[in-house]
Amino acid sequence: MKPPRVLVYGPAGVGKTTFAAGARNPICIPIEDGLGKIDIDAFPTPGAYTDVRAALDALVNEDHQYKTVIVDSLDWLEPMVWQHTCEKNSWSSIEQPGFGKGYVEALRYWREFLDRLNYLRDQKGMTTILIGHSEIKPFQAPDSESYDRYVIKLQKGASALVSEHCDVIGFAQFKASTVKSEERGRTRTRAIGSGERVLYTEERPAYLAKNRYGLPSEMDLNWETFAKAIKGDK
């Protein structure tokens, strides 16, 4: 079985990078510069899309012992992709060509980025982990009223492309329950959390998620637990 292509997204501070750092022999491309005290090997923080591409090319072309590449994070990579697209087309902004054409052109470089990740997976046997942040957007279902849901914080075309690429999209979140109480004749709902961090791997109305491995729909946000589930271990 080939190594998994994973995307984990969620709110800031939930532990996405810590989760990814638990993978086997990792190296990170810290676009967000958010490693903090996490002690893993990393490339210098890139200043442009070409720096990210050069880091991936180094992993493609050089001998190394790394088994996992982490890209942290996609929503910090996105403006670099847009800037690169603008430079290649002599645009002042990604909106300049109008009618969304700039975003469509940017997909060329998103595909270039994903092609390198696929090479690392297929030819170097590397797990690839993409980290992203979440945002809440309205979702219009064809058979019901619209509702809000968590999605990946990316332009919709890029989000669709990256989502198709990945074998697992995991939504990381603090687990919470709700409690209702009566206050001054009004019912109030409060969220109560234990600090437990979980990874959701099957889509629900509240969030985007998927997996191609038959994973449990909810599990601890822990790489060892996740890796065992991928292999089918109990």
What's the pLDDT score for residue 7?
Answer: 98
Q: How high does pLDDT run on average in the chain? A: 92
User: What are 35-44's pLDDT values in tens digits?
Assistant: 778 999 999 9
User: What are 51-107's pLDDT values in tens digits?
Assistant: 999 999 999 999 999 999 999 999 999 999 999 999 999 999 999 999 999 999 999
Structure tokens at 56: 């991936």
Residue 181 confidence (pLDDT) above 60: no
What's the pLDDT score for residue 182?
Answer: 66
**Side chain identity, residue 180:** K
Residue 191 confidence (pLDDT) above 80: no
Q: Are strands 68-72 and 186-200 parallel, antiparallel or unpaired?
A: unpaired
List, in order of start, the domains of the chain with CATH numbers: 5-171 (3.40.50.300)
* Separation between Cα atoms, residue 76 and residue 199, nearest integer Å: 22
Lowest mean pLDDT: which of 95-99, 128-132, 174-178, 219-223?
A: 174-178
In sequence order, the 6+-apart residues with CB closer than 8 A to the CB of 150 are: 10, 134, 135, 136, 171, 173, 206, 207, 208
